[in-house]
Structure 1
Amino acid sequence: MEITGYSASILIGISLGLIGGGGSILTVPVLVYLFAVDTVLATTYSLFIVGSTSLVGSFSYFKKRWIDIQTAIYFGIPSIISVFLTRHYILLAIPEKILQMGSFSLSKSVLLMVIFAVLMIFASYSMIKKDTAATNPQKNTSLTAVILQGTVVGLVTGLIGAGGGFLIIPALVNFLKLPMKTAIGTSLLIIAVNSIAGFGFSIGQNHIEWKFLLSVTLIAIVGIFIGSYLSTKIEGYKLKPAFGWFVLVMGVYILFKETLINQLM
């Protein structure tokens, strides 16, 4: 399983480098199911892996001026505040055992994985559906809406350790009308800042296995270099639907496993 886990880790970086998102949606399932990491600890590890990988990947976009710094700030500040509040208050306030009804038991770990699975299913829809931004133009959204979206992304990042690229990129392209490559670069920077800040907020709450964490992170970073290279040869939007279907299958599997299979075992 560990060999499979390390092999899957490279896909995290490839996805982030190629389409600017989706990698973080793979990280927690890889850690939980392939490396047998506790779910809450996996969300902390995910923040470091995704944050470090996205930061490295954002450098090439920054050099090419494919990052909108102003948008990143508008998204980033409310996101960081939201991540802090989520990691320090909301996540800690969830009890380890939430509900017990007969043979059915709902634990904190199961709840987080169910939330993760539902978000994967929603994320897959945004990847699979045909982009209608060019044929159905929308007005630029207000600053208030951008701040609200940043807050939601921070909540998702803080709660389940996902960078939220699947939420950020549609907002940047459809509402702020950023070109796709600029949206990807800006998304990587926002994900990096959110995730690294979230890891910093959580570092005192868990015992960190640094050797393991750094090894997975380095493999994911190799993946983002591959993804960034491939992005110069392949348009990411062409691969998004296929990746979206993969995320959908994974989301349905996790939802089924956590709510039915685990309860029967």
Structure 2
Amino acid sequence: METTGYFASILIGISLGLIGGGGSILTVPVLVYLFALDTVLATTYSLFVVGSTSLVGSFSYFKKGLIDLKTAIYFGLPSIATVFLTRQFLLPAIPEKVIYLDNFLLTRSILLMVIFAVLMVFAAYSMIKSDKENEETQAKNTTLWVMLQGAAVGVVTGLIGAGGGFLIIPALVNLLKLPIKTAIGTSLMIIAVNSLAGFGFSLGQQQIQWLFLFSVTTLAIVGIFIGSYLSTKIEGKKLKPAFGWFVLVMGVYILMKEIVLK
């Protein structure tokens, strides 16, 4: 399983390099199911892996002028604030045993994985639906809406270790009308800042296995170079629906595993 986990770590980077998101959708399940990590620890590791990989991936977009720094600030500042509040107060406030109902014990780990799976299903829908459907969502005050989206992404990032690219890119493309390549580059920058900030806020709360963490991160970085290269050969719009179906299957599998098969 560990060998499969290391191979999947490369796929995390490939996903980020190709479509500017989706890497975090893979990271937590890989760490929990293939490396058998505790869910809360997996969310912390995910923040470092996704943040570091996204940071490396954003460099090439920055050099090409494909990062909108103003948008990154509008989106990023509310995100960092809610990441901090979530990691420091909301996550520790969730009890280890949440509720016991009809011979089923809902633990914190199960709750986090269920939340993650539900978000995966929503993310899959966002990736599968056509661009024409995406364009129907508009906001009157785009700056305020983007800041609110940033705050929401921060909660997601802090709670389950997901960078939130599946939420960021639709907001940048549909609300601010950024070109897809600029949206991907800006998304990578926002994910990097959010995730690494979240990891920094978590230091001291858990014991970190740095060698293992660096190994997974290095493979993910290799993957993002592969993904960035492939993005010049393959149109991201064609890959999104296919990846969306994969994410949907993963989300349903996690829901089945955590609730039905427990």
TM-score (norm 2): 0.98
Q: For each residue in 1:26-83, what CA deviation from the matched residue of structure 2 results, as whole angstroms up to 9, or x when unmatched?
A: 0000000000000000000000000000000000000000000000000000000000
- Is 1:55–1:192's contact at 8 Å kept on the other side of the alignment? yes
Inter-partner Cα distance in structure 2 for 1:147 and 1:240: 25
Could you list the structure 1 runs, at least 4 aligned residues long, displaced by more than 3 angstroms after superposition: 133-141
Partner residue, 1:26: 26
Inter-partner Cα distance in structure 2 for 1:23 and 1:12: 4
**How far did residue 132 of structure 1 move?**
1.3
Partner residue, 2:184: 184
**How far did residue 139 of structure 1 move?**
6.2
Partner residue, 1:212: 212
Q: For each residue in 1:197-219, what CA deviation from the matched residue of structure 2 results, as whole angstroms up to 9, or x when unmatched?
A: 00000011000000000000000
Aligned length: 262
**How far did residue 230 of structure 1 move?**
0.5
RMSD, aligned CA: 1.3
- Is 1:117–1:251's contact at 8 Å kept on the other side of the alignment? yes
| Structure 1 counterpart of 2:110, one-letter code | V
**How far did residue 100 of structure 1 move?**
1.1
Inter-partner Cα distance in structure 2 for 1:156 and 1:180: 23
Partner residue, 1:42: 42
Greater mean deviation of Cα atoms: 76-85 or 138-147: 138-147
Inter-partner Cα distance in structure 2 for 1:58 and 1:96: 37
Partner residue, 2:5: 5
**How far did residue 103 of structure 1 move?**
1.6
Inter-partner Cα distance in structure 1 for 2:2 and 2:83: 30
- Is 1:133–1:174's contact at 8 Å kept on the other side of the alignment? no
What secondary structure does 1:169 align onto? Answer: helix
- Is 2:79–2:154's contact at 8 Å kept on the other side of the alignment? yes
Partner residue, 1:166: 166
- Is 2:135–2:174's contact at 8 Å kept on the other side of the alignment? no
**How far did residue 237 of structure 1 move?**
1.1
- Is 1:133–1:173's contact at 8 Å kept on the other side of the alignment? no
- Is 1:161–1:195's contact at 8 Å kept on the other side of the alignment? yes
Partner residue, 1:76: 76
| Structure 1 counterpart of 2:192, one-letter code | A
Q: For each residue in 1:61-120, what CA deviation from the matched residue of structure 2 results, as whole angstroms up to 9, or x when unmatched?
A: 000000000000000000000000000000000000011124210000000000000000
| Structure 1 counterpart of 2:246, one-letter code | F
Mapping 1:109-258, distance limit 5 Å: 109-132=109-132, 138=138, 141-258=141-258
- Is 1:139–1:175's contact at 8 Å kept on the other side of the alignment? yes
**How far did residue 142 of structure 1 move?**
2.6
Inter-partner Cα distance in structure 1 for 2:25 and 2:190: 15
Runs (5+) with no aligned partner, structure 1: none
Inter-partner Cα distance in structure 1 for 2:11 and 2:52: 15
Inter-partner Cα distance in structure 2 for 1:7 and 1:49: 14
Inter-partner Cα distance in structure 2 for 1:139 and 1:26: 30
Q: For each residue in 1:113-150, what CA deviation from the matched residue of structure 2 results, as whole angstroms up to 9, or x when unmatched?
A: 00000000000000111111797584674321111100
Runs (5+) with no aligned partner, structure 2: none
Give the % identical residues. Answer: 76
TM-score (norm 1): 0.96
Inter-partner Cα distance in structure 2 for 1:161 and 1:260: 24
What secondary structure does 1:106 align onto? Answer: strand
| Structure 2 counterpart of 1:29, one-letter code | P
